[in-house]
A = this chain, B = another copy of it.
Amino acid sequence: MKFRRSERLIDMTHYLLIRPKELVPLTVFAERYGSAKSSISEDLGIIKETFEKQGIGTLQTVPGAAGGVKFISKVKQEEAQEFIEHLCKLMAEPDRLLPGGYLYMTDLIGNPHIVNEVGRLLASAFAGLEIDLIMTVATKGIPIAHAAASFLNVPVVIVRGDSKVTEGSTVSINYVSGSSKRIQTMVLSKRSLREGAKVLIVDDFMKAGGTINGMISLLEEFNATVAGIGVLVESEDAEERLVDNYVSLVKLTNVDYKIKQIEVVEGNYFSSNQSFLKEEES
C-alpha cells in the first residue's frame, strides 16, 4: 500500500495526537507508509510547524539511533485565556447556587468538551515536569484527572473514602478536612503506587486544601513525591490555606446565597504557569 504525502500527513497527525509524550521512532512511520526516512522527516517538519502555528502543541525531536519524535500538547496563552474567561462566566450563573453556599458544577464536569479542555490546560501547565502518574480523589476529580493524563501519557490512581474488596490490600490514613475540621479517612490500593513515584495531584475543587493535604500525607506513606498540584476551582473563602504551591484555573472570590451572587475570576494559572506555546516559536 503506497501513501501520498497528503495521506501521510493526515494519518501521522492522528497517530501523534493520540500518543502524546510517546517517543515514536521514524522507522515506525517509514515502515507504515513504505516511505524514505527523508520524506518522513519533511512531513514531520510540516506537522511541527502547523501544530505550533495553530496552538495544538509541538513536536520534540530526539536524535540518534534510539531517537524519534514526540508530540507535546501545549496551549497558547490567548486560547487558555479565552477558555478560562468562558469558564468564569459559566460558573457565575446564579442558578448554580445551592443552599449552604455550595456550587453546582456537576454539569460542567460531565461535559467532555470542558473536561478535555481543562485537562489540556493542566497538562500544558505541567508539561515541563517529570511526572510518573496523576493522583485524584473520587468522584468529581476523576474525569479531570483522566483528561490531563491523556495529554501527559501517564496513569491515574484514585484515592477513595472507603476501601473496596476489588482494590486488594490498601493503605489508609486519617486527615482533617480543612473547612469542616472533621476527621476523615482516605484509602489507596497498595499496588497502585510504586515507591519514589513523582505524582501530579489533580482535583476539581480546593477550599482550605484539606483533601489535597491528605493526598500529600498518603504519598509520604508510599515514599512518593509531589510533582505538582492542579485544581479546576479554588475558593478564596478559606480561613487558612493548607497548601501553597498549586495551579488553579478559576477562583471563587465571593458566594452569597441570599442575594444569589457568585463571583468567579481567573485563578493563578497565568502567574504560576510559564509553559506556553510562544507565537515566536512558530
Of A103, A147, A155, most buried by chain B (CB within 10 Å of CB) is A155
A50: which of B7, B56, B133 is its contact (CB, 8 Å)? Answer: B7
Select the stretch in A62-70, A111-119, A214-222, A263-271 that faces chain B: A111-119
List of B residues within 8 angstroms of A13 by Cβ: 9-10, 13-14
Which residues of chain A from 84 to 124 have any CB-CB distance to chain B below 8 Å in the complex?
98, 100, 102-107, 110-113, 115-116
**Secondary structure type dominating chain A contacts:** helix
Closest to A147 in B: B146
**Stretch from A75-83, A159-167, A245-253 that touches the partner:** A159-167
Interchain CA distance A104-B14 in the complex, whole Å: 32
Answer whether A139 and B158 are a contact pair too, CB < 8 Å, given A46-B7, A168-B104.
Answer: yes
User: Is A138 in the interface zone, CB < 8 Å from B?
Assistant: yes
How many chain A residues sit at the interface, stated as a range, is 35 or more
Q: Which chain A residues numbered 110 to 154 have a C-beta less than 8 Å away from chain B?
A: 110-113, 115-116, 133, 138-140, 142-143, 146-147, 149-150, 153-154
| Chain B residues near A54 (CB-CB < 8 A) | 10-11, 14
Q: Assuming the A-B contacts A111-B155, A112-B149, A143-B142, are A105 and B160 also in contact, with contact meaning beta carbons closer than 8 angstroms in the complex? A: no
Q: Can you name the residue of chain B whose Cβ is closest to the Cβ of A189?
A: B106
Contact at A110–B5, with CB atoms within 8 Å? no
Q: Which residues of B contact A106 (CB under 8 A)?
A: 157-158, 166-167, 189, 191-192
B112-A153 in contact (CB<8A)? yes
Q: Is A175 an interface residue (CB 8 A)?
A: no
**Which residues from chain B contact A154 at a C-beta distance below 8 Å?**
112
A-B contact pairs, 8 of them (CB 8 A): A102-B166, A105-B166, A106-B166, A106-B189, A107-B191, A116-B150, A140-B166, A142-B142
Known: A6-B46, A9-B13; 10 extra A-B contacts, CB below 8 A, are A7-B50, A9-B9, A11-B56, A112-B154, A138-B139, A139-B142, A140-B166, A142-B142, A143-B143, A143-B146
